[in-house]
Amino acid sequence: SARSFASARLMETWAHGLDAHRAVGSEPEDTLRLYHIAKLAYNSLPYSFKLTGEEYSGDLRIELKAPENKRWTFGPDDATNVITGTAGEFCRVAVQREKAANTNLEAEGELAQTALRIIRCYI
């Protein structure tokens, strides 16, 4: 869809922007636009699991602290596997510009731990 295409281009542009910031030693500002990348990352989880041959049950919720004191939640409310942390860190892991182990993201449950290890927003 046009919306998915636009979200994917936003994600790619943002990821390459992170590379540019890193190259010149500056820190990017996280904005509410990260919502589109976080949602794309969540929606891409079945693909990420399929790529690695892991089983994805869908029993995963992501709870993110977003810019401007917002909260974003993706996934079922009753999920037993939960990833929590900041939207910026989650999105950086999802575009593979940061390793989850180098962030303050927390993964409760085996599926959540696997998700943080294999998540990717792109083909």
- Overall size of the chain counted in residues: 123
pLDDT score at 45: 95
**21 and 27 Cβ atoms separated by less than 8 Å:** yes
Q: Is 113 exposed, middle or buried (0-12, 13-18, 19+ CB in 10 A)?
A: middle
19, pLDDT greater than 80: no
Alpha carbon distance 120, 108 (integer Å): 19
Residue 77 corresponds to which tokens in the numbers above?
């409310």
Nearest to 94 by CA among 28, 54, 58, 43: 43
User: What are the domain boundaries of the chain?
Assistant: 2-118
- Taking only the tens place, the pLDDT of each residue in 27-71 is 888 889 899 999 999 999 999 999 999 999 989 999 999 999 999
User: Where are the alpha helices (H) located in the chain, listed in sequence order?
Assistant: 2-24, 34-43, 45-52, 87-94, 110-118
pLDDT score at 15: 67
Mean pLDDT of 97-123: 93
Does the domain formed by 2-118 have CATH 1.10.20? no
